[in-house]
Amino acid sequence: MTFNDIFKSSFLENVTAVSLTDMALALVLSFCLGLFIYFVYKKTYSGVMFSRAFGGALIAMTMITTMVILAVTSNVVLSLGMVGALSIVRFRTAIKEPMDIAFLFWSIAGGIVLAAGMIPLAVVGSIIIGLIMIVFCNRKAVQKPFIAVINCADGAAEKKVADYLTAHTGKTVVKSKSAQSGNIELSYEVTLKNNDTAFVTELSQMEGVSSAVLVSYNGDYMG
């Protein structure tokens, strides 16, 4: 054993496993790709409240994945250890929107492809995916549906409400009906004519109607 062998360190040898040029290029490109994914997510978002934290997580996910894959591709032994370490990670946060899962996979896949050196595939593929997302996920309904929740006193008031909605809205479909002693709660899916909501006020003043509420509806939530 020589003097150099005593101070030889495999840790220090790994310092130069990935060049500064490769690191800088990969991280800058992954940041740009993550930023593009963030803007597509923001453009196509259709939920109740846009989460900037999730959008920022998409950028971070792309960059983190790129950093991990750079390390893995530089050392075979490290790649085996990384698989074992990541296999014990568990995420407890539930992903409620199916499109959020797609954006997460997009961020991870983009980071992997970039770190593997397939820059044209990452750039061109992301542009195509982004255009598809914007075209198909950002389409708005021609007639936005609403839910009208109305409380009636009896069957006669219910019939008047149904006739009134049919005459003053574009489309009327009964979604639910709940009957109790002296009260009938009706939920209608309606489309507006010329975005006019004055009919709700008139319904609330109708004889036999105790309350009338109109809320927006996209098929997933009410509010």
Q: Please, what are the averages of pLDDT over each run of 10 residues along the chain (223 residues)?
A: 50 63 87 93 77 86 87 66 59 70 89 87 92 78 75 86 84 84 85 79 84 72 41
| Domain identity same for 161 and 185 | yes
CA–CA gap between residue 20 and residue 144 (Å, rounded): 53
pTM value surpassing 0.75: no
As a whole number of Å, the end-to-end CA separation of the chain is 75
CA–CA gap between residue 140 and residue 204 (Å, rounded): 30
| Domain identity same for 151 and 172 | yes
Domain boundary among 92, 114, 137: 137
Q: Domain tally for the chain? A: 2
CA–CA gap between residue 97 and residue 46 (Å, rounded): 10
Domain boundary among 88, 114, 137: 137
pLDDT at 30: 92
> pLDDT tens digit string along 183-201?
888 888 888 777 777 888 8
Domain boundary among 109, 137, 165: 137
| Domain identity same for 58 and 106 | yes
pLDDT at 79: 61
| Domain identity same for 131 and 171 | no
Read off the tokens for 172. 């009327």
Here the CATH number for the domain that contains residue 177 is 3.30.70.260
| Domain identity same for 80 and 177 | no
What does DSSP assign to residue 222? B
CA–CA gap between residue 60 and residue 78 (Å, rounded): 22
pLDDT at 32: 94
Question: Within a domain: residue 221?
Answer: no
Question: Within a domain: residue 186?
Answer: yes
| Domain identity same for 19 and 125 | yes
pLDDT at 94: 67
pLDDT at 129: 92
By residue range, what is the domain housing residue 150? 145-216
* SS3 state of residue 147: strand
